[in-house]
Structures are given as structure tokens and as C-alpha cells.
Structure 1
């Protein structure tokens, strides 16, 4: 059953519209081509001045058409033609791509139904480390869209690319002044307004560059600066997957009401690129990009727990906590590379040194208040609720009496995560001829050294330290909460003043401060051999790549209230092959096929060297995990009707080995990390599982109705839909039967349907675009490996956005945008659509901007 929000239209209607829109977009153009079959495709050097949406469409289609392997591309003018504030949101418009959102903003990118950790992210070809402590995936909301020249998604790798991209590789490319004709600059300012919080926020960006004649050559200098300070909020109600389905009527054990009273996200981005062309045969470059993302969040929460699952309409006494969270978290990404390219007769030599760093610091200037917990003096009795999708609680009056709650616990913490990578690579290429057929051979090597570290310091205070002051000493006014009565919110400053009187060091929680710290060193040595051969209209690209991975980890082992150092190592190698064929069927039609092999290394949480033993319970990482390996097949056809009109269809299949999942090995009699699993009632870790497979179809179409008369000639339509199906299995130990059992699941993060439909109009001065983005439900996380009732799904999501701009002069442009026109919430459920796991609303955002540019 497809999940949907009660306020939305049935998803089957929207899904059906996408393929129909693709067909409709192309019928007029196909008819036009049939009327004049001799019309040649536009020449590469044909002079045509186009701006706005048609310019982006023309550039993207030309790049896609010329690519040797399967790529999808969006340029800066395409990014700026929609209200997409970061790289993640820009990518959601492309075929086969969807995003995961945080507080309504695009964050992580999924390619062809694969989880974000199975993709590779680079900036100008340099792999980007992950700021988060347990991730490989890069949260692309860190990168402002204003710093980006283009985003290139490669779905079929060539041997000269990093192999760690089971889903695909996302390259964020910055601008080069050598690619521009003459000086260029752009200055833009924008104000946004969120209707949920009634807050207005500014955004500024400046970019530009030019070339200089230096030492007989050309020096290109390009730079960009971007700043955004956004205030918004959200309202939330969630059960967190605590529903119990064993009884006649399902009930939950816990529910949480959340009011994000203040969310501030501040983005600062800088880029500086230097390119020097000494002559036609010698070129050098130095590229840098820096981004800082600060997330300042204040959240109030009411947490209600029951001893036994409570069904709708029932009544029970509850354990209650009112909580305050107040923390600032700063993420930084820095990437730099320097290299050169030299052409010597038939040889081309390229070399490059790179450095990239990502970090996340929680509480950079002021310790983060992870939580301040207020508990009731008099018990909360007779709690009931109605509804299961968005449960509405009925609470007694003493729940809303601030004098009935006292400050019982509090935590202050500082967290620091760093992820650094140093790399060097060299590539050699030689062009030659085989029986009059152009050919080339390319080979090279690459070495990267990566270090991921996590360091957490936690201070914990209990009631004896705090003196149990009552909540009425710390409260502000009543919360403005969409889902009913919430109660008063807390003043973070007043709580911090209370904690400032306490001694930090005497309240250091040594266990929590040390147990999650780790350092993991990962060194990768790679080499490849690749060749190309052109036979008339056929181009073949094939080769092999070998990557050797060496892993060393250091963490802590906690047992019998004692810490010891725990180390772990792992070494493995992967030989990966690929073959691509690109055939020019006609002047307008391409056929592509490829077989590639790729991998995805386990995430750092799964590789953690830490071991925690608490009585008969154990929790530990598995540094000996094998990487995921995938055999990928692609077959597609692309028909280019004109320079702004095209249709395409691509079939893909992935056979994934060593699928990783979380499991409980207690009682299995096996040994892991020197521990006998029979010694524990619970032993949580990660294991490689059986194979998984994924297959799908991508359909895409775009058309500009330039041949129609009058205003209809300015209409553009762009649509894509991806249909995907996957099959995986996870295994758990059935203690009653004394054996391992497995059950089938979809790959986590895989939607059966993702799609986009945008309708645009533009003339000499005016440009408008209405865009809808849809993804069907997907498995978010699994519960018990043997029981599906604990699985959490994210519901289907359809969001409508609008953007418009008007050129007052050739250089001055004003714009107006609306994000989330249909006020779509985030909804996740447990087991069945009717049972809430999380419901969160963000409201609409309106933006008004002005841009002054010269190109």
C-alpha cells in the first residue's frame, strides 16, 4: 500500500502524469522532425544567444550527449532557475535522483534507489570526507548553490574514476575563468520568509572572474562568496517506532511532542580558482572551495511513556518528561587541489595533489545542552489519546502546571569530529590509430590517506547537583504549536544560568566521554588501465581498476567498569572491470550500454573498534566487514530532437554482494572480536548478508515549444520518472528454533517511483517555472531482523515549488520564489501507513531577490 498524507492527492494520479508529460512534451517536436527529416542537428559552433531555462537545457543536453559514459548534468543557470538553496535540492530534479530532508531542507542524495552512503561525492574531482561521525555520505546542504558551476552525476563509472560509487558519483564543479569570454561577475541578494515561524532571512552572493596575460600565457582568476542566515522552525509529533502490534488493537509505548522554537542555519561559502594556460600544450590549475554550515537549534519536547502499550481510546498513568535542547553545531568542508596537464607529441600527462577536510563541532563556543529534563512532582494520571497518524493527547491539568515540574537532569557536551584525506594521482594517456580507427590507452595510479576521528566530552548533572528547582523559574510563554496544546516553552538562557553555578569537572561522565571516541585510518592505493577505440559510429571504452584498502582502528573497550584500548585492522583488495559502448545510431540518436563493477566501503559506525560490555549485553562494531560489491548493467537510448528537446530511456540492473545489516548474535555460539556470543542475552553488531539486487527504468523528456505561435513559443516542459525495484534479505537468530532465519526486504532508501515534472515559460524578459517533485514510500530502517512489524518507512512525498524572474535591464534581474507551495509535511510510519513514527511540518517559504550580472 502506497503511503500518502491525508491532505495529498492519490499518488497513482501523480505517477501516471509523469510518463504522460514526457510523451506530450515530445509529440510536437517529433512531428516537426518528421515534416523536415533532413533538418540537421545544430552544429557545435552554431551561434545562438539563449538565456535562462533554455540556456541551461541546451548546455545540459549538449554535455550529456557528448559524454562517453552515462552522465546527468545540471549547470548553475539551471540551479538558479528553481528555489534550490543547496546542492542537494538542485540534484533532486535529475532523473533517478531523490533526496533525504532534514527540517524540510534537502540534505543527502540517493542515486537510483541506493542509500546515500553508497555514493561518492567529489569537488572538482577531489573526494569529499563526511562531517558526520558515522557517515561516508556528504550532506550536500553544507554547499551553497551559489558556489557551483555545475553538478555532474556519473551513473556508469570508467576505470579512471574512484570505484566507491555503487549508486553513482556526484561531482561538484566550480567555475574556471578560462572557460568564459572576458570578465564576468554576478551580485545577488535575497530575502526569505517562513510562514510557520513568521521569520525573514537574508542571503547574499558575489561571484566573478577574468583572465590576465601573464608570461606569454593566460591566467584565469575566478572567485565566489556566499552567505545565508536563515531562521525557521517546525512542529513535530512522533512515536519513534514504539507501536506494539501483538494485541487486538495496536498501541504505542512512547510518544513525543516537539516544538522547534528556533532553528537558525547560517551558511558561508568561499571559492577561489586559479588556472594558468602557458600555451596550447601546458596548463596548470589551483582550485579551492570552503563551506561553513552552522545549525543553531532550540527544541522543547514533551515525552510521555506508558508501562504497557496504550491503544487509542484507552486511559493510563504515564511517566512524563519535559525536555529542552539548546545546541549549536558547525560543519566545515574544505577542498583544495593543484595540478597540471601537458601534451607531449601523442602523450598527455596529468598530475594532481589534493587535500580535503570535513569537520563537525558541537558546542564550538558554548557547550551544547544535549538535554535538560524536567520531571513531575505529582504523577500524571489518566492520559489518553485519539488518532494514530497524528495522535492527539488528552493530558490532565497538572501536566501544564509549571510548578509541578522540577529540573531533574541535564547534560552539557562538546563533540568534535574530523575527517581528513590527502591524495596524489598521476595519469598518462597516448593517442594512436588502429587500422585508421582512432584509439587511446590511458593508465595511472592514485594514493589517498584518510583519517576519521571522533572526540566527545560529556558533563552530566542529576537532581542532587541541581537542587531540583521548579520549571516555573525557567519558562517562557505558551508554545505556538500546530497540533493542539503544548504547554509553556523553556528559556535556554535561564537554564544555562542555573548550570553555570555548578562545577563541570566534578560532573564529567567519563564513560560516555570515552566510549564513543575513535580513530580510523584508511589508506587506499589504486591503479588502472583503460583503452578507447572508435570504429565508425561506435566508441568502445574498457579497462580494469585495482584498489587496495588498508584499515587501522583504535577505540575503547568498556567492561567491568574499566576502560582498555581496543585496536583492529583489516586489509583487502578489489579488482574491478568495466566496458562501455556508445553507438551513434543516427545524427540525433545514441545508444549506450555498459557493464561496470563498483564498491562501497562500510560506514565508520559499522567499522567502529569500540566494544561495550554491560553485564549480559554487548555492543560492538565489526572492522572485519567486507565492502559492498556491485555488478552494474546499463542499456539506454537517447534521441535529441533539437538542442533543447530530447527523450531518453535507460534500463539498469545492480547485483550487490555483501549487503550490510545490523543484527543480534546473542546465543548463536559464534565468536566475534574474541567474544563468545553464548555469553550474552543481547549482542548487537553488523554483519555482511546475502546478495541484494536492484533494477529500474529511467525515462526523461524535455521540450521547448519554440515552433508554436505567440506566447506558446516560450513554453518549456521537463519531466522524468524512474521506476525501481529491489530485493534484499537480512538474517537473525531465532533462539526458539536454535537457527538463523532470514526475511526479504527492499533495499533501505529505495523508492519504487521517483519523478519530476516542471512547466516553464520564458520570453526576452520574463521567466517562470512550476516544478513538482515526487518520491514514493521507502524503507527507512529495519527493526527486528525476524519481524517486519518494527520496520519504519518514510511515506511518499510530493512537493510543489515555483520560481520566477524578470529582467528589468540586460544586467538587472528581480526574482520571486515559493518553496513547498502545498505545505507538504514529512511523515514516517511503522509497519502500516496508519501508525505514526514521525509527523513534522515546516510551512511555506517565500523568497524575493535581485541579481545584477554581466557575462
Structure 2
């Protein structure tokens, strides 16, 4: 087994030290990088990716929680541009994507809003208006030394971790015994956009002072990428019958042509002062900026707009009275996350103490979100052919491709600012009970969280005066090349800035809709002020080969929520309400070392999940009869979980593990869409509103194996593989549909990953496959039943990377993601009824990395 010097073993980041106080090990890159660079320590005998893989396995084995680790090997050896991509390789972990890039992490199928995300053990802010999930595509992967996913938390973790707790560990100067510098230069290529991007990162760290008591790490990362995609949405499927012949068909078909630029900027500055073995003072800072510039042309054909459709055959239907819209959206948005976290840790006698304060700021600013909308008159005909995999036009009114047939309807210009400030203070004390003979101790702590979140939305609406058409603007662009692989004809696109300039030069053609503008300016605004008071006590008892950790955490939440509600009789009404609740959350963890290479674990945990921001604030918005509302009466989730696992370590770089878990959730929250209703006196064709279900259950099995094929003859002994799979059986009771076997919201039955790697001398290669099965996204109400259930379809993604070390410390690499060009699909009730399907291409990157 790989061994390390006591000096190196004692060098850890503050996040590692904090976790060690609780008996939890968090990995860093220290030992792996020393091994990779060939630095001589005590009995370091392996190098490169194998050393890093061995370290990750050793860290997993030494932890007292049920968890998994991505070390720097896992982050850097596949095309993982952001931290969400790196995490999807772990057992039981999948991702939700945006424009083909992983964004939100799903642990064991649980909604990412129910995960806890920290950086070096400290909470980060949430920039988005809707939920509590952290978009991990904001944080570049090359700023992170390691990532840990704890699936069963101990009492010293925040309770908002029904899915799990995800901790991103950044490097510190004491991670290595010598100064270090790492750098990467890369180019990127998106096959669909046919554009080149670029990026790079640089990290430097080292200790200084007479006794090397001071440490500093400075790191910076930058990348710019281009992404194009095509999306088609045949929505709102319904059943139609003519002369005894019935057919299921969509009543609306929308096409989107996306062109996107994404820019990431990140940096860290970590400072340490360690005057002696008993005192550590530190400052952790991290800054991330994510900019998304989106151009989107849209062709929206409302097929059912009055009139009676005619079923022509079991696979064909004619709509006589459709209406089409051509629309352009320019959406420029920037998210920022930064943390400033000073703290001190010291030891006096049998007591280890730690004090920490963290200021976290998150923001999402949208300086431009403009929609230009041109709409035809009614009476546009179309015939749909439903004999293929997806609906297609057998015939369509040719005027729908004529810009002169589209008069201006309206111009909407939206500006939005979302800001969140988070102040956290915590104190932890660990008291050894047996003079260090065994790892037996009591730990107590307290934490205070103060969160203020503001959303300010401004949206003006200018309506058309007269009958100016798209063609008259003179800003008609040619159709996109090869839209949706030729399955659909998109028609002309729009020159956004040119159209705006045309109407600004001709103000007599538009008029401000003052009433709608006033509603728009207030209907989405809110202010949230949450205070959380938490305390815990836990004990770690070591009895030979058995270690038990038991304790309880208490959290009290005090929330104040201000928002606006639209009422037809009184206009905009400011509302304010408060909601307080307290939870007592016990837990017990058991770890038993059956043999040096065989370990059993079990855990009983209780956690909670607070409602999303947009779910609990009393907002209401309406557009063309479609309404969305919050629900201030929502209750928080609560969850009781049982976990058990068996882990076998046949070698230092091998693992075979299997685990089982069960979660019982009360008050799960889902969004229900009700047709033909009203809200606050406003008649609606549909209303989407979050509701509490009664309960839900999940039972799952995880399996994980990792092995190098050292038994094969050279050079095939360089091959190896890692694979994991998770199966989950779930159900949820939805009001009005209690007798149906509904799966839990956003819960895939199967999640699987497999990687085949080859490591021999200076050459390394990896091919990775990630799979998740379908899951339910939206649940219809009792009247609609399954006819309105929306599912995300299954998805399999293939990635690959190769690298060659040309000399010590210099490596060339090339990688590609989504080689199989997997689309993102949704369907209504059955897979035949495609509800949404977005197609992407593959992405590639290439470059050089250096280590000094």
C-alpha cells in the first residue's frame, strides 16, 4: 500500500481539518500530486494517475460516512469542463443539463434543490430566482482539488441534505511539501456551431517565512465556449376523433434555433498561518463568474386555434385554423458567486476548537432579455403526419414562411437583478475522552445563517400600432443551415438589433402598454429573509473494529417573505408573510472493519428540504391565459433514511462495493398543472402551482467496481475499468391519484457509469459512458390523470480523452464529449408522444498542461 511521510500526512486544507474533527476525511490533491510529480517522500512508490486513484480509494475506505470521492485524477482525466461534469462519474450520481452541458447534480435521483453544496465546508450563495440548487457549471473544474459527496450526513452537517452534501475542496499551500505551479492552455470546438473557443488556468502555491509558517495559493481560470442546438416541442397532446377514427396529436408545435456563447472566469486566493502545531489561521476566498449570451430564433405554430380538426387516417390529422408566431430572444445573463471565509483552529489539551465566519454573495443579473414577436392572422392550415418517431408536417400553409405574413405583435424588454447575501457563523468543539488511545470523542457545535435574497424584475411591453410586418423591417435573415437534421423547415430568422433599430426609428408603429408594463414590473419581484439557528451534539466511540457515531441536530428556520400578487379587481397587491418551523434530527452511523480489506457500514439519518424560493413566495404571473403561481402554504420536506454498504478492497487501486438505501419522504413538493381554471379572479387556460404531496418512498441498490487488469500480459496490463450502477424503486402519493403507482419526482430507475482506461508509460486514454433512465418531470392532476404527465426520456452520453507526457511535467491532451450526439428528450405519457427534443453535437478540446 502507498505510504506517506508524517509531514505530508499532516498537511491538509482547513476543510480537511474541519472534517477530521468530526472523524470525516475529505481528500485533497496533496499526496497524489506529490506522487505524480515524483517528489520524494517516505516510501512513495507509485506515480501518475494510479497514485491519484489509489488515494481516492484510500480516502473512501477511511471515511466514517457513506460517501464517494472525485480526486484530481477523476476531475482531470475526462473532458469535465465544470464540477457538475466531474461528479456524474460517481455511483448514484447523475446530472441535469442545459444546452448539453451538465449543470445540476442529482444524487440518487433526488431533486438537486435538496442537496447541500459547500466550498471548503462553507455554504455558497444561490444566484437563481427559482430554487435552492447551485448551478455547478458556474464553477470551473480546474479550480477544484477534490470533490466529496456525502450521502448520509452526520449531525455536524447542515440538515438541508436529503440528496446529499457536496463539498468542493480548493488547494492550499500546505497540501505539498514544496512550492508548486500548474498551468493549462486549451482550445475547444463545437461541431454544430463550427466555432473555436479557448481557455486556460494557472495555479501557484507555496509556503514562506522563517519556519515556513505562512502559505499562499493563487489560482485563476478562464474559458470561452460556443454552443449551438436545435429544439422542437410538439406539446399539449390530445385525442381527436373523426368518423370513428381516433388519433393522439399535439396541438402546438414550437421550433427553437439556439446560438450561445458561454464564458467562465474563476479565481481563488487561499492564505494560511500556522505558527505552531496547535494553531492554524486561514482565509479562504473564491470567485466565479459565468456569462451566457443566448440568441434564439423561434417559430411557434398554434395548431388548435379554434375550428374542428379532421382525422384523415390513424396517422394523419388536418388542423384548419392555426396561427403562427416568429419570435427572437436575446438573453444576456451573468451569474457571480464569491465566498470570503476567515477562520481559526486551535488545540488546547484534549480540546480542539474551531471558529469560522463566511460571507457569501451570489447574483444573477440579466441586462438584456428582449423578445421581438411577429404573429400571423388565424386560418393557417397544416396536416400532421404521425407515422414516424416524431410529428412531421405532411402539408403546411406556405405563407408561414413568408415574412410579409407576420405583422408585429409586441416587443418586450426585460431587465432583472437577483442578489443574495449570506452570512454564516459557526463554532465547533471536539473533546477527546480517552487521551488519544482510541478515536473516542464528543463534538458539539452551533451555527447561525442569515440569508437575504432580492429579485427585481423590470419588463416593458410595447404593442404594435397599425400593421407593420417582419418583411417591412428589412431585417430578414436566411434560414438556419440543416435545422434539426432536415426533419423540419424552420424558415427565415431575424436580425435582432436591426429590428429594434427599425422600430426605434419609427416610434409611431409601437405604443407602450402601460398597464401590462406595470404588472410585469411588479409581478415577479420578491424579498426573502431567512434565519436559521442550528446546534448539534454528537459522539464518536471506537470499540475495537467497530466505530459508532451518534447524535442529534436541531434547526429552527424563521422566514419572512415579501412579494406581489396580481388581482383583476385590485391590481398589484403587496403581500408579506412569515413562516417558522423547528426540526429535531437524530442520526446514527456504524462502521465495522471485518478485515483489513473488508468494511461494513450502516446509517440512520433524518434530514429536511426547505421549499424553493419561487414555490413559497406568493407571486402570480399570467401570459396569454397561462398562469404560474407560488404557494405560501407549502410545508418543508422531511426525510428519514437508512443506508447500508459492504466494501471490499482487494488491492490498493481496486474496490468492489455494494450498498442499499431507503428514504421515506413526507410533504414532497411537485408542480401540478391544472387546465381551465382561475386564480385570484383571473380566468386561465392552465395554471402551474407547487403543491405538497403526502409522502414518497425510495429504495435503491448501488454497486461499484474499479480494477486494473494487472493479470494481463504486457502491454495489456495497462488496461483497467471502473463501473457503477444504481437501481431505485420509488413511489409517491399525489392528491387525487393516490391509487396510482407514480414514481417519485425526477427519479430515474437506473443510473450507470462505465469507464475503460489504459495507462502505460507516458500514454493514457479513457472512454466513459454515462446513462440514466427516464423520470417523471411534471404530474397531471386527478382529472387529467396520466394524459398530462411529462417524462424526461433516457439519455446515454459517450466521452473520451487521450494524453501523452512529452517530458516530465508537460502533457499534451485531446478530449471529446457527447461523441454520440445524445439529444435531450421529454415525452407526454408515452414515448410516442414527444413533448420536447433538443439536439446537440459533440464538443472537443485540446491543449497542453504543465506542472512545476
- Report if TM-score (shorter chain) is over 0.5: yes
Confirm or deny that 1:137 pairs with 2:133: yes
Name the counterpart of 1:585: 594
CA distance in 2, matches of 1:798, 1:852: 33
SS at match of 1:48: coil
CA distance in 1, matches of 2:291, 2:239: 41
CA distance in 1, matches of 2:63, 2:162: 20
CA distance in 2, matches of 1:191, 1:69: 39
Q: Deviations over 1:322-341 (max 9, x none)?
A: 11111101111111211011
Q: Deviations over 1:565-624 (max 9, x none)?
A: 210101110000010011110010100001011010011111113367999999643333
- Check conservation: 1:386, 1:392, Cα contact below 8 A: yes
- Residues 444 and 191 of structure 1, relative CA distance in 2, 3 Å threshold: same
Greater Cα offset, 457-466 or 821-830: 457-466
Name the counterpart of 2:224: 229
- Check conservation: 2:769, 2:796, Cα contact below 8 A: yes
Name the counterpart of 2:826: 828
Give 2:494's match in structure 1, choosing from 490, 497, 506. 490
* Deviation for aligned residue 1:719: 0.4
- Residues 310 and 255 of structure 1, relative CA distance in 2, 3 Å threshold: farther
CA distance in 2, matches of 1:845, 1:107: 16
CA RMSD of aligned residues (A): 2.7
SS at match of 2:490: coil
- Check conservation: 1:251, 1:310, Cα contact below 8 A: no
Greater Cα offset, 570-579 or 327-336: 327-336
Name the counterpart of 2:712: 708
CA distance in 2, matches of 1:302, 1:639: 56
- Check conservation: 1:237, 1:390, Cα contact below 8 A: no
* Deviation for aligned residue 1:76: 2.0
- Residues 720 and 372 of structure 1, relative CA distance in 2, 3 Å threshold: same
SS at match of 1:641: coil
Q: Deviations over 1:765-792 (max 9, x none)?
A: 0000000111111112223344111111
Name the counterpart of 1:454: 455
* Deviation for aligned residue 1:353: 0.1
Name the counterpart of 2:316: 313
SS at match of 2:334: strand
Name the counterpart of 1:551: 559
Confirm or deny that 1:103 pairs with 2:99: yes
Confirm or deny that 1:442 pairs with 2:443: yes
Q: Deviations over 1:68-90 (max 9, x none)?
A: 11110001232110011111111
Task: Report matched runs for 1:596-607 at 5 Å.
Answer: 596-607=605-616
Name the counterpart of 1:519: 527
* Deviation for aligned residue 1:466: 8.4
- Residues 594 and 830 of structure 1, relative CA distance in 2, 3 Å threshold: same
Name the counterpart of 2:116: 120
* Deviation for aligned residue 1:464: 1.1
SS at match of 1:250: strand
Task: Report matched runs for 1:1-16 at 5 Å.
Answer: none
Q: Deviations over 1:478-501 (max 9, x none)?
A: 211123321121111212213444
- Check conservation: 1:129, 1:136, Cα contact below 8 A: no
- Check conservation: 1:667, 1:681, Cα contact below 8 A: yes
Task: Report matched runs for 1:464-479 at 5 Å.
Answer: 464=465, 467-468=468-469, 470=471, 473-479=474-480
- Check conservation: 2:462, 2:511, Cα contact below 8 A: no
Give 1:268's match in structure 2, choosing from 265, 268, 271. 265
Q: Deviations over 1:506-545 (max 9, x none)?
A: 5550101101100011100000001011111111101000
CA distance in 1, matches of 2:780, 2:74: 40
SS at match of 1:297: strand
Aligned length in residues: 791
Q: Deviations over 1:641-698 (max 9, x none)?
A: 11101100010000111112345899999xx9xx8x9999988643322111101011
SS at match of 2:434: strand
- Residues 471 and 762 of structure 1, relative CA distance in 2, 3 Å threshold: farther
- Check conservation: 1:663, 1:785, Cα contact below 8 A: no
Name the counterpart of 2:360: 356
CA distance in 1, matches of 2:78, 2:386: 40
Name the counterpart of 2:775: 778
Relative contact order, higher structure (CA 8 A, sep 6+): 1
* Deviation for aligned residue 1:130: 1.8
- Check conservation: 1:448, 1:523, Cα contact below 8 A: yes
Name the counterpart of 1:47: 44
Name the counterpart of 1:594: 603
Name the counterpart of 2:648: 639
SS at match of 2:216: strand
* Deviation for aligned residue 1:245: 3.7
Task: Report matched runs for 1:31-430 at 5 Å.
Answer: 46-52=43-49, 54-213=50-209, 216=211, 218-240=213-235, 242-245=236-239, 247=241, 248-260=246-258, 262-307=259-304, 312-317=315-320, 318-363=322-367, 367-369=368-370, 371-376=371-376, 380-387=380-387, 389-393=389-393, 394-430=395-431
Name the counterpart of 2:27: none
- Check conservation: 1:351, 1:425, Cα contact below 8 A: yes
Structure 1 unaligned regions, length at least 5 = 1-43, 733-739
Greater Cα offset, 409-418 or 784-793: 784-793
Name the counterpart of 1:686: 690
Greater Cα offset, 104-113 or 624-633: 624-633
* Deviation for aligned residue 1:839: 1.1
- Check conservation: 2:303, 2:382, Cα contact below 8 A: no
Q: Could you tell me the TM-score, scaled by structure 1's length? A: 0.88
Greater Cα offset, 821-830 or 604-613: 604-613
- Check conservation: 1:388, 1:835, Cα contact below 8 A: no
Q: Could you tell me the TM-score, scaled by structure 2's length? A: 0.88
Task: Report matched runs for 1:21-40 at 5 Å.
Answer: none
Name the counterpart of 1:730: 734
Name the counterpart of 2:30: none
- Residues 459 and 653 of structure 1, relative CA distance in 2, 3 Å threshold: same
CA distance in 2, matches of 1:617, 1:766: 57
Task: Report matched runs for 1:801-812 at 5 Å.
Answer: 801-812=799-810
- Residues 497 and 385 of structure 1, relative CA distance in 2, 3 Å threshold: farther
